[in-house]
Amino acid sequence: METLIRTFPQQLIEATRIAAAWSPAHTGLRPTSVAVLGLGGSAFGGEIVRNTLRDELPLPFTIYRSYELPACVGPDTLVLACSYSGNTEETLTAATEAQARGARLVCITSGGKLAERARTHGHDLLLIPGGQPPRTACGYSLTLQLHVLHRYGLIANPQPALDAAHAVMTSFTEAEHAQVRALAQRLSGTVPIIYSTDTADSVAIRLRQQINENAKQLCWHHTLPEMNHNELVGWVHPAGFLQQMAHVLLLTTDFEHPRNRVRISINREILLRALPSADRLTEVQARGEGKLAQLLYLLHWADWLSLYLAQANGADPMPVQVIDYLKSELEKAH
């Protein structure tokens, strides 16, 4: 896992080469919406793209994590079917439905049934390297999604933003590693509670998923300003055990709405009153040139934290045996 995290930035370069060699079967479509199909790590690339392009993409961009599609997906929808293994049953089912409705499919996968289906039905196919856990391969997916959107004329060339993201991830310093290791030691045995604004909720999702899968530890996340209308009230009288076990992680970027900056300050004050000590709230400020760079810096930071937390917990970050068991039981139920 350490090697996979350390080499993660290289995925942006390799995926750009894959995109450069891709000859789209169809580019005449001018979609009215974009739908990403995927689960877990395969869906996550879309979350980064969604956050990055919120102020640029001129049409709806939605991620679907289920078997079913809403009625709005149809012939004018560009569907990005993302399954690292190519065998995710929910994604395959939704892709079949999208095809039946005449949607334009682009399949991003390392192989499996999704690649077979793309070849059989003439869908665009972007093959990425296999052989690793899906959660560690989202750099391929997010890079390819950006290039696909560019090929369809929906966004500007993403390469400068990808280059800036690669630069900030590869500049992660030993001092930063030391800080993350120390934080992991403090997080072990706690309940991490992750907050961000809606500008960076993708990396809050990523951190939650990585703590779950790599460190084998429960946590949750919520997003400002939404949590100010519900969850914040729970901090008035938090359950005794939670008050003692909670550790808040607050993720911020340079791209917050001015009113959300005010909210962050007020939330900090409220949370510090509820937590047992000030060292139970850790703020992480992104760095990097541009929104994508800052989001991927936080992603890289989250990945390292999950690895060091796994070490602190004495957990092997690679296997996810309970998910394997779930899939085997689902297979029996066919």
Residues marked as catalytic: 213, 229, 327
Contact between 36 and 48 (Cβ < 8 Å): no
Q: In 189-260, at which residue ranges do the beta strands (DSSP E only) sit?
A: 191-197, 220-224, 246-252
- The radius of gyration of the chain from alpha carbons, rounded to an integer in Å, stands at 20
Phi and psi torsions of 328, nearest 5°? -65, -40
Using DSSP's 3-state secondary structure scheme, residue 125 falls into: strand
**CA torsion through residues 109, 46, 20, 15, sign:** negative
Comparing CA positions, the residue from 94, 46, 42, 41 lying closest to residue 70 is 94
| Tokens coding 289 | 């040139």
Enumerate the β-bridge partners of residue 126. 108
Q: Name the token pair of 234.
A: 């729970």
Q: Answer whether 66's CB lies under 8 Å from 38's CB.
A: no
- 186 residue type, one letter: R
Preceding amide of 225 cis, omega within 30: yes
Output DSSP code: residue 254: T
